[in-house]
Amino acid sequence: MSEETAKDVKEKEEDQKGFAFRKKKEMPTGLWTQCPSCKNMVLQREVDDRHNICPQCAHHFPMSSQERVELLMDAGTFEEWDAGIVSTDPLNFPKYKERLVSMQAETGLKDAALTGSGAVNGRRIAFACTDFRFFAGSLGSAVGEKLTRAIERATERRLPLVIVSGSGGGARMQESALSLMQMVKTSAALARFQGAGGLYISVLTNPTMGGVMASYASLGDITIAEPRALIGFTGPRVIQQTIRAELPEGFQTSEFLLEHGMIDMIVPRQDLKLALTKLMEYLGQA
């Protein structure tokens, strides 16, 4: 750098003394989220205030199992069952133990199912839900055992039963046939429950697929779905590739299944607690 240039730089620095330059502000993280349905950027606070529903298009974002409890149960009434039941690694599946530990750390859950008892507008029920964050809510041995025990307690205590399914993974492949056995076990427990006169309301959320839909999720006395949920045994893309034919518009959505008699009701999330209350009143479970 020449002497003259260095002098010019020094003079500029002196001219700038005493002035404070404002730093560019960065956008806080977590303030906005993009809706996967309408593609709009929406305030996360507004989504949270609407029970994880998009304020623009009413898309239902996923909910955690704890959020489901807060949505449906009267405050302070929920009592968890069988919190200590956890998955092991019965088949020594590669890296399964490590993934279980990782999922438990990420979600704060022991496994994909939360079960217990609580009150819905003063009416005591047996309640279970699966959480998509934990192995896509898949049906492993621990999940099947917790659901079966919840169904059996509902039978013994003559409680209405509500199961909310958010299981895109179906049967858990890391447990192979042991996972498939849970389909039979939960279905048999429900047969005994319904044979004893129990009321089972199944609530399907996005997505409810695979072995879950092929067992306990489809066996409700009343089957409710959230709007625009993907529901079926396998996804529409796989079906289309298999049969090599175009599928009807909206295939495997809640609306399509309601039109074809596969479910009984579509209920927006914010109305679900009231709908459950009315159903239990109408069906003599008050």
150 and 182 share one domain: yes
d(CA 111, CA 32): 29
47 and 104 inside one domain? no
Give the per-residue pLDDT at 18. 54
pLDDT of 24 reads: 59
Most confident of the ranges 20-24, 70-74, 230-234: 70-74
**91 and 71 in a common domain:** yes
Looking at the fold, whether 51 and 146 belong to one and the same domain comes out as: no
So what's the pLDDT on residue 285?
Answer: 64
Position 33 pLDDT exceeds 80: yes
**Domain count of the fold of the chain:** 2
Q: Which band of pLDDT confidence, cut at 50, 70 and 90, is reported for residue 35?
A: very high
Residue 270 lies in domain: 62-282
Domain presence at residue 42: yes
Band of pLDDT at residue 27, cut at 50, 70 and 90: low
Confidence of residue 238 (pLDDT cuts 50, 70, 90): confident
Higher pLDDT, 39 or 6: 39
Residues 180, 256: one domain?
A: yes
pTM: 0.86
245 is a domain residue: yes
